Structure 1
């Protein structure tokens, strides 16, 4: 017997029904978030002893595929909180309790934002343009600008990082958490984008924002690092991101099938396009592509849960999944657009919105260039 979904069909339909208005108004998904909080969705990966639902990453991935099929922007924004709880869970499962406080606070209702991305920083986790200034008490003050900070109107804790250039062992990448009520944190109301509009991933400005000593979780050398935190971030970010875009592909395929049955052809005596060989080929092509991503997504999520040992192949597998899922979703949406015809070009079209939303997959790390470099290095070794 299959496990009932945490997100039942009626909840998903309510969420889907609001997505167009959020997109049109460039508004945050407040009602969606309220309902997701009410069913415990943001506590899904938190152990039961810490106030959560104790679900596996594999289970949450399945839920995110469903949520992504209903409202991609909502799913993408919620992902950022789920990533942090997933990171904390991965560490705890491997005997590292440095983020147990995060799980406890998430279990009590705190919402975590992901404040890592910076304009012009293609090193991502391995470097930073943000200054991390050590304080006498062991805390740090962060000064810099973070972009694509999803959940900007709602997060209560922000996980961030910066570069310490002044300590005796500098340079060090410092990871810490700051509170929303810090007077040295501000936001720019600058999220007016092509797609994923409801995520409200605004720019966050840190002007000496303080992370107290017990919220500083790592000080790492810049560059690739074997620390478990880096693996945990990569694993959760890439797998959960792939789930959202897999959901977009699933919904696009559904809409394409509906359109093929609904549309008719005067050239074929008014028969539905579901009888047209060219349209049938496009639907089949999209379905084959969509079927191919699911098994890899589930398998890698399960491997994270079960602490599988992929050694040096872990990162190639993770970045490969992200690239395959996002590019696959773009292909499926493109085929669906071609099947559905000109009606999908109108602003109010759900498929047109998916076409805009799915483009965001290009910009999430790891990008195609970085991912291919990671995989090439794993198979061929670094360039001499």
Structure 2
């Protein structure tokens, strides 16, 4: 696969294999079933990806990165997910923050240069936004953000903290209810200190290698230079909201689209090898099997161009106005629905052997289920689309 990047209107060739070589991908793929079976974090994957410069792909060249755009990062995350979905999903959370920093710098908004510099040095940034029972997500928080000197101390519980064993900085939000201009949502970054406790509670159906453990904060301090934003709770046009939402949704869509690509490839490979006792022909010659394969392809083919187009809009600062949130949540929703459908069909196409836990399709079947739990969930995506078309619900 090749695509283009467009810095300042100049079209140049972008080769994903330059950032994710086949041999690196093969090693990551080989380790994926081990981490899934043993419920362990892929430390070696992270080490090799860091050495390859992958953690800084979205960092500008002048700050020590590769200078890629979100469009290219989305292609790379699809490629990584074909080898190890959980590794790709974990790395996603780091790339979200470097992507938000890029959204800021592209638009001339200061304050997140330390994220770019940290990523260039090899730091690992984790995503500490999700909270149990908080369906406001970005628009509210149950975590207390208390002013402390020039910074903030955060107390609360974050869930689904991917990269839990290895992160060096945690990007998070909390609610300041004590300042004169309160309430304010505070977005900031903390270091790993004794005020942060990571629970060893990640034992899930799928995506096991992400190690997205619960994180408890007890006065964890963010220095003033690492407080990125103080904004009013609720929907906001602030770049922190747009940056997180756009990068998060598109990179999530990329991971699940990558899972679908791998499932399709495995299904094609399997039916070309299996032979029917009834006809003496490979299953690739069976009309019903061919229909399933075609159906999978037709579903999959729609997503990579959608992701690329929206990611390019983010890179080029296109003005999609109020449509942004519908477009972004819709793309993520379609990607996970499509991926689950493709994996379901791949399982049926490949036959009973795929039901064994040692079969890669069995792992993909479990991994793909996680997509429905990430924001925007199906209810939120549909609500956003309905409000855009019909207006808000009447009181």
For residues 30 and 104 of structure 1, what CA distance do their matches in structure 2 show?
A: 22
| Equivalent in the alignment of 2:158 | 146
Equivalent of residue 244 in structure 1, options 255, 275, 278: 255
For residues 296 and 60 of structure 1, what CA distance do their matches in structure 2 show?
A: 14
For residues 14 and 248 of structure 2, what CA distance do their matches in structure 1 show?
A: 24
| Equivalent in the alignment of 1:177 | 189
1:91 Cα shift? Answer: 0.9
2:219 matched to 1:208?
yes
| Equivalent in the alignment of 1:218 | 229
Equivalent of residue 164 in structure 1, options 172, 176, 181: 176
2:129 matched to 1:116?
yes
| Equivalent in the alignment of 1:18 | 31
2:287 matched to 1:277?
yes
1:277 Cα shift? Answer: 0.8
Q: Deviations over 1:89-115 (max 9, x none)?
A: 011100101111111111111110001
Which 10-residue stretch deviates more, 219-228 or 247-256? 219-228
For residues 101 and 72 of structure 1, what CA distance do their matches in structure 2 show?
A: 28
| Equivalent in the alignment of 2:10 | none
Equivalent of residue 118 in structure 2, options 97, 105, 117: 105
1:138 Cα shift? Answer: 2.3
For residues 336 and 92 of structure 2, what CA distance do their matches in structure 1 show?
A: 15
| Equivalent in the alignment of 1:261 | 272
> Secondary structure of 1:266's partner?
coil
For residues 224 and 245 of structure 2, what CA distance do their matches in structure 1 show?
A: 25
**Number of aligned residues:** 381
| Equivalent in the alignment of 1:45 | 58
Equivalent of residue 306 in structure 1, options 309, 316, 326: 316
1:271 Cα shift? Answer: 1.4
Gaps of at least 5 residues in structure 1 are none
TM-score, normalised to structure 2, is 0.95
1:267 Cα shift? Answer: 2.3
Where do 1:121-132 residues align within 5 Å? 121-132=134-145
Equivalent of residue 191 in structure 1, options 186, 193, 202: 202
Equivalent of residue 57 in structure 1, options 70, 91, 112: 70
1:128 Cα shift? Answer: 0.8
| Equivalent in the alignment of 2:350 | 340
TM-score, normalised to structure 1, is 0.98
Q: Deviations over 1:255-314 (max 9, x none)?
A: 00011112222222x211111111111000000001111110110111111111000001
| Equivalent in the alignment of 1:315 | 325
For residues 10 and 105 of structure 1, what CA distance do their matches in structure 2 show?
A: 27
For residues 295 and 59 of structure 1, what CA distance do their matches in structure 2 show?
A: 12
1:3 Cα shift? Answer: 2.7
1:72 Cα shift? Answer: 0.2
Q: Deviations over 1:30-53 (max 9, x none)?
A: 111111000100000001111111
Equivalent of residue 357 in structure 1, options 341, 356, 367: 367
2:218 matched to 1:227?
no
1:383 Cα shift? Answer: 1.2
For residues 302 and 34 of structure 2, what CA distance do their matches in structure 1 show?
A: 32
Q: Deviations over 1:111-159 (max 9, x none)?
A: 1000110111111001111111111x22111111111100011110000
Coordinate RMSD, CA, aligned: 0.9
> Secondary structure of 2:14's partner?
coil
Q: Deviations over 1:228-259 (max 9, x none)?
A: 11000001000111110110000000000011
2:102 matched to 1:89?
yes
| Equivalent in the alignment of 1:381 | 391
For residues 115 and 48 of structure 2, what CA distance do their matches in structure 1 show?
A: 22
1:4 Cα shift? Answer: 2.6
